[in-house]
């Protein structure tokens, strides 16, 4: 045999033996690694030290060193470390600002301590400065869902990784008396899906551009193993919350497996006739989400996999129209969003509209699935529902849904929604209020509402959009990135209701991202006409903008668009679309 052939055989045998000799745990890790491939871990250093304990001059040395990027490795050099001490002057403490809301935990690298023993520290994560400075129980601060306030021991000359929550700020304090900590590095472990922003939005208004991107980033943070509502709280798959999030994903990221994965989880956890998340409307949103997702992706095989569950759910919903043509769903929790909860008549009106919207979406899906019998059941129920017009009871949520369902005229709903501008908007249903304004042709009014409502959060230091917000909170309020000044209100700790009182309030909630898909749909003007984005209609509404440009992801690639307002007020449109996408104007 030739020498080269012999060597080749021997190398193959060696490689084969090496693989065979690997411990079985590696094979198990490979076959069970789907979860680990969905997110990545990156390390970021703090950008500022926002606060130091009063004894900093005597008890903290070289704190600025912790703003430097580290390598994650303890060493024996003993140089360039931060030393924190607790003594008669008190316990040393530092508050770090990482510059932007993040999801993940903390990595701490230590040098040799004075005692060569572990040192206890207290760690407090916060979405605001005030939360990071708070004690459990103070203004609603909790450890619910994700631990954000706890005491741990740090090794000497070692490393500790701790925490899994949503935060921007971290406070670290020595926990014991007469202790000393030599700290080499403080880094956040940033956990996220490493995916490109395929969609984009840029206009002549920097504020709208920032709002669009903030909504996109808020949802991105919540795209963890599943699609969550919030990265601090609740960290759960809430199907209703998913609707604005999925609209954002379609506009920014395109087809992403976190959507079907989360929809399927909710389905599998909810045998009929139970309602998803225990709320009637959340099973309705599941139907509407499938209609929207199919329109964007054109994935017929995935839709067919929902057929059995979908048809049974639709027949159940269609049976809930009483002899007076009213929605009659009282076998589960009746819920729209938190701010509307106390308005029973408003919730009733919204539920009636939601049932009509759901059955219309169901009829569309059943037509695709070639099930004319269920199409007729849905259509007949919708016709009956539209014969009854419930009162909105001054609920902007109800007015929006009744308009979108076609039960009340769009102009009538817009008048109700426009009372006092964006006051009484909500971060979740604000999206549907904007959609209702668009249906009435009030695009400028909607743009103004976006600036007023979502823009106000940015002015208060937000880098992600919040679970709830009310313009009445703004006068005299502090920013979230500062120690609350004397005489000002704590915008995070002093407000909130229902499940989000004070610091329990989530400041990174995906359902608040509505302006992102709204701006893409109505200002950039992208409307999907045929499933899979095979046909897209460009219908821009620039309002007071001079230009808008951006991109939109489709299964075939990126559509590039630019609209320019000419001197005569007309809009000049330029676009480039990939093969497989037809663009009409």
Residue 146 lies in a domain: yes
Residue 50 lies in a domain: yes
* pLDDT (0 to 100) of residue 23: 77
Collapse the DSSP code of 429 into the 3-class scheme (helix H, G, I; strand E, B; otherwise coil) and give the result: coil
* pLDDT (0 to 100) of residue 3: 57
The C-alpha atoms of residue 176 and residue 332 are separated, in whole angstroms, by 51
Provide the CB-side half-sphere exposure for 159 (13 A, CA).
Answer: 13
- Structure token pair of residue 72: 């994650």
pLDDT profile of the chain (585 residues), mean per 10: 55 50 72 70 97 97 96 93 96 98 98 88 98 96 95 96 98 96 97 97 98 98 97 97 98 98 98 97 98 98 98 98 96 96 97 98 98 98 98 98 98 98 96 98 98 98 98 97 97 95 97 98 98 98 98 98 96 98 96
* pLDDT (0 to 100) of residue 6: 52
* pLDDT (0 to 100) of residue 115: 80
Collapse the DSSP code of 273 into the 3-class scheme (helix H, G, I; strand E, B; otherwise coil) and give the result: coil
Instruction: Note whether 398 and 353 are within 8 A (CB).
Output: yes
The C-alpha atoms of residue 243 and residue 237 are separated, in whole angstroms, by 11
Q: Model pTM?
A: 0.94
* pLDDT (0 to 100) of residue 8: 59
Among residues 411, 416, 433, the alpha carbon closest in space to that of 514 is found at 433
- Structure token pair of residue 254: 């395109």
Which residues neighbour 297 within 8 Å (Cβ) at sequence distance 6 or greater?
255, 531, 532, 555
* pLDDT (0 to 100) of residue 34: 53
User: Residue 421 region, left (φ>0) first, then alpha (ψ -120 to 50), else beta?
Assistant: left
Identify the CATH number of the domain in which residue 163 sits.
2.60.120.260
Instruction: Note whether 318 and 377 are within 8 A (CB).
Output: yes
Residue 96 lies in a domain: yes
Any bridge partners for residue 52, and if so which? Answer: 94
Instruction: Note whether 548 and 542 are within 8 A (CB).
Output: yes
Identify the domain containing residue 139 by its residue range.
Answer: 40-192
Provide the CB-side half-sphere exposure for 278 (13 A, CA).
Answer: 1
CB count in 10 Å sphere of residue 356: 26
The C-alpha atoms of residue 174 and residue 55 are separated, in whole angstroms, by 12
pLDDT digits (tens, 9 = 90+) for 398-414: 999 999 999 999 999 99
Instruction: Note whether 523 and 548 are within 8 A (CB).
Output: yes
Residue 208 lies in a domain: no
* pLDDT (0 to 100) of residue 116: 85
- Structure token pair of residue 302: 């995935």
* pLDDT (0 to 100) of residue 25: 75
Among residues 162, 44, 151, the alpha carbon closest in space to that of 97 is found at 44
Cα-Cα-Cα-Cα torsion 14, 20, 26, 31, nearest 10 degrees, comes to: 110
Distances (CA, A) of 512 to 46, 218, 228, 337, 519: 26, 8, 12, 12, 14
Instruction: Note whether 126 and 149 are within 8 A (CB).
Output: no
| Helices 410-417, 430-439: crossing angle, 10 deg rounding | 130
* pLDDT (0 to 100) of residue 556: 98
Greatest CA separation for the chain: 92
Residue 97 lies in a domain: yes
DSSP state of 479: P
Which residues neighbour 102 within 8 Å (Cβ) at sequence distance 6 or greater?
44, 166, 167, 168, 188, 190, 221
Among residues 212, 198, 500, 240, the alpha carbon closest in space to that of 354 is found at 240
Number of H helices, E strands in the chain: 17, 17
Handedness of CA 390, 396, 401, 407 (dihedral sign): positive
Q: Strand 93-110 vs strand 48-52: parallel, antiparallel, or unpaired?
A: antiparallel
- Structure token pair of residue 372: 């004319």
Residue 64 lies in a domain: yes
Q: How many domains does the chain have?
A: 1
Instruction: Note whether 338 and 303 are within 8 A (CB).
Output: no
63-72 burial, b for 16+ CB within 10 Å, e for fewer? bebbeeeeee
Residue 555 lies in a domain: no
């Amino acid at each position: 045999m030739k020498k080269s052939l012999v060597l080749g055989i021997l190398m193959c045998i060696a490689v084969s033996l090496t693989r065979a000799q690997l411990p079985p745990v590696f094979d198990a890790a490979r076959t069970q690694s789907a979860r680990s491939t969905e997110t990545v871990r990156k390390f970021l250093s703090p950008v500022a030290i926002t606060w130091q304990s009063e004894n900093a001059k005597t008890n903290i040395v070289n704190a600025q060193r912790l703003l430097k990027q580290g390598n994650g490795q303890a060493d024996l050099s003993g140089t360039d470390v931060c030393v924190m001490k607790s003594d008669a002057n008190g316990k040393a403490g530092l508050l770090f600002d990482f510059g932007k809301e993040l999801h993940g935990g903390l990595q701490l690298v230590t040098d040799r301590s004075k005692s060569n023993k572990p040192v206890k520290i207290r760690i407090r994560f916060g979405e605001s400065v005030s939360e990071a400075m708070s004690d459990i129980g103070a203004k609603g601060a909790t450890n619910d869902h994700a631990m954000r306030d706890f005491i741990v021991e740090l090794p000497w000359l070692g490393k500790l990784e701790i925490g899994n929550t949503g935060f921007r700020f971290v406070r670290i304090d020595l926990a014991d008396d007469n202790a000393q900590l030599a700290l080499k590095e403080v880094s956040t472990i940033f956990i996220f899906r490493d995916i490109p922003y395929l969609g984009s939005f840029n206009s002549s208004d920097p504020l709208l551009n920032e709002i669009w991107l903030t909504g996109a980033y808020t949802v991105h943070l919540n795209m963890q193993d599943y699609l969550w509502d919030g990265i601090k709280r609740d960290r759960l798959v809430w199907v209703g919350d998913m609707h604005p999030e999925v609209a954002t994903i379609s506009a920014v990221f395109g087809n992403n497996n976190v959507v079907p994965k989360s929809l399927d989880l909710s389905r599998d956890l909810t045998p009929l006739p139970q309602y998803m998340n225990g709320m009637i409307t959340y099973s309705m949103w599941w139907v509407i989400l499938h209609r929207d997702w199919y329109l964007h992706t054109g994935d017929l095989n995935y839709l067919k996999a929902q057929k059995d569950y979908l048809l049974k759910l639709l027949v159940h919903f269609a049976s809930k129209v009483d002899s007076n043509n009213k929605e009659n769903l009282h076998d589960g929790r009746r819920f729209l969003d938190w701010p509307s909860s106390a308005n029973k008549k408003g919730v009733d009106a919204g539920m009636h509209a939601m049932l009509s919207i759901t059955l219309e979406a169901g009829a569309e899906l059943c037509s695709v699935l070639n099930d004319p019998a269920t199409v007729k059941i849905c259509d007949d129920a919708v016709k009956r529902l539209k014969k009854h017009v419930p009162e909105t009871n001054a609920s902007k949520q109800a007015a929006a849904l009744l308009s979108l369902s076609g039960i009340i005229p769009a102009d009538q709903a817009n008048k109700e929604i426009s009372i006092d501008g964006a006051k009484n908007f909500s971060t979740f249903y604000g999206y549907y209020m904007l959609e209702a304004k668009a249906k009435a042709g009030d695009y400028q009014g909607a743009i103004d509402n976006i600036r007023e409502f979502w823009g106000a959060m940015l002015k208060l230091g937000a880098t992600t959009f919040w679970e709830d917000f009310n313009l009445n909170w703004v006068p005299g309020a502090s920013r979230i990135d500062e120690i609350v000044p004397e005489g000002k209100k704590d915008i995070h700790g002093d407000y909130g209701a229902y499940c989000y009182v004070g610091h329990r309030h989530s400041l990174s909630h995906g359902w608040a991202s509505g302006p992102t898909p709204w701006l893409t749909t109505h200002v950039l003007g992208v409307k999907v006409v045929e499933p899979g984005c095979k046909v897209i209609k460009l219908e821009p509404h620039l309002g007071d903008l001079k230009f808008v440009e951006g991109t939109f992801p489709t299964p075939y690639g990126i559509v590039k668009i630019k609209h320019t307002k000419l001197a005569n007020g007309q809009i000049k449109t330029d676009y480039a679309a990939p093969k497989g996408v037809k663009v009409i104007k």
